[in-house]
A and B are shown apart, each in its own frame.
Chain A
């Protein structure tokens, strides 16, 4: 009798726990804690809370162990949160306790500078606060059945393109800037660039995933013919054995992913040490191993065969820099691309 009571009590507890965990689910960003046992002599200790854009998770899975296993970061623990870049940035601006932010696009850091959460000179270093990057690439189904090679191929009849929502995702902004730069010849002929984006967005983009990672998931689950994404994300998918391949068009866009220390960091010493570490050759090699393009010229040269140089690589400074591009194209309600996207998805 009492055994039955125990059993039913246990069953109730299990069911209760399951129900609770079901209720707790459904967040858009995932958080994980990496704990590293304290070493003998730790130079910096404590916990670093890292808020990153969704796709960067793959890079930090390699770089954080590199930091904590080496001398500098021994004993440091990491609290990591990943999600759509814009969404993550707004969370930090709204008070999320971040020590280090790693976003896809500079405007997401600029938002924090305006909020007084990141020092105005965060990009004063030689690498302008950008420890790694990538290029915009096209992921296609294995064997490239639709024959996608260049930007014009995306406008072919019936081609469905997966790219995330530019109002939440940094990846989406890079993806749209690439053909814009190519078609407008680096911004000299904006109307040609916008005409291309109008037909791409209104006729070929049917889904609006929140982040670059979500876009990859959507594509891998069978939606669309082409996924616009980071080269590193494409490399990761191919390495994971997913039935896809990728094509980097002859002309594409350089992705630069900024990292900054948050001013009210609870652990500024550790946070600064970590961001400094990201620029060291050791960390640069780990980024390269994870499929991200390193910024250190020596390391980049060593991995040149993994990261072929396109015919022409447009950059954000070709278009006049993020401040003017973001205001001109992506401002909600008035930006030229924002209006096209709004109209197509309203």
Chain B
């Protein structure tokens, strides 16, 4: 699901590349939708509504109801318990660090994959998607054997926040790479060359030419990586150590509360996570809509 979502958003930002100059030479890209939405498909609409209700809306509603089983006061108490706040704080902090790391390293990776040629490039390109396909618990086992107590390279990251960062960086690796890559492929190198011929330095070209082109894609990839990181469970289960107030992330806190029979606490923190994820995606839509509008205006 995440993969399609990322592709969709990346596609959205791809169209937003402000390169009217290049439009003449580049092959025609579909600008207008192929057809207007028709109103005459009640069955399809009904089926989609039913499906969305069954798999998304009803479970979310049930979760919200559970979280307020003890009233809004109970919801608030559950959310403001110091250990719950600590888990949310650790989660957001680590996810933010990972998102920033991804923004930089993912862009660099995409750049190398698009602009540079080296032996084994196809393999590296295929490897990028591995974290999408690999069960996250496998990532955790691999990381634990590499950075755990018996580390062959004598680096111990288990039960530290660095361990969390490494685990989440692994899981979220594809997001930025896969949103930036197609934009970079379409971006016109001649614009950069023109800037260079007009005397712009490398930094200026990067800041004034490349970054505005890639910006929306980087932001959407980073946002998706962040949204993925705040909900991650499998990859941090072994390497994270689950130490309350230190390395316990929100998903682990939720599991713990379920295990000790506190479903309301678990549901309240789940709702908080859900709200954060939703907010992130909402902001991404806004950003992408804004750059689309900007493109239309130019």
Contact = CB atoms under 8 A, between A and B. Distances in A.
Nearest to B126: A11
Q: Which 9 A-B pairs have the closest CB atoms?
A: A167-B260, A22-B135, A222-B149, A168-B259, A210-B259, A15-B133, A168-B260, A18-B133, A87-B259
Interface of A is mostly: loop
B244 A168 contact: no
A218 B256 contact: no
Contact of A25 (B83, B137, B261): B137
Interface stretch (B99-107, B204-212, B234-242): B234-242
A221 B144 contact: yes
A21 B135 contact: yes
A124 interface: no
B136 A22 contact: yes
Interface residues of A, number: 29
Contacts, number: 85
A221 B134 CA distance: 23
Nearest to A166: B260
B241 A345 contact: no
Contacts of A165: 256, 259-260
Contacts of A218: 241-242
B200 interface: no
Interface of B: 81-83, 132-137, 144, 148-149, 156, 158-159, 233-234, 237-238, 241-244, 246, 255-256, 258-262
A87 B258 CA distance: 8
A314 to B, nearest CB: 26
Contacts of A62: none
Given A18-B135, A22-B234, A345-B83, A223 B259 contact: no
Given A21-B135, A22-B135, A167-B260, A208 B148 contact: no
A221 B238 contact: yes
A61 to B, nearest CB: 22
Contacts of B234: 22, 25-26
Nearest to A24: B135
B265 to A, nearest CB: 10
Given A222-B159, A346-B83, A19 B132 contact: yes
B65 to A, nearest CB: 18
Interface string A323-346: 000000000100000000000011
A90 interface: yes
A84 B258 CA distance: 11
B12 to A, nearest CB: 23
A52 interface: no
A167 B242 contact: no
A207 interface: yes
A37 to B, nearest CB: 31
Interface string A245-269: 0000000000000000000000000
Contacts of B260: 86-87, 165, 167-168, 210
Contact of B159 (A84, A168, A223): A223
A108 B141 CA distance: 32
A90 B137 CA distance: 26
Contacts of B259: 28, 84, 86-87, 165, 167-168, 210
9 contacts: A18-B134, A18-B135, A22-B136, A25-B234, A26-B233, A86-B259, A168-B256, A221-B159, A346-B83
B241 A223 contact: yes
A282 to B, nearest CB: 35
A208 B244 contact: yes
A62 B173 CA distance: 43
A19 B135 CA distance: 7
A241 B261 CA distance: 35
B261 A168 contact: yes
A206 B241 CA distance: 11
A209 interface: yes
B97 to A, nearest CB: 22
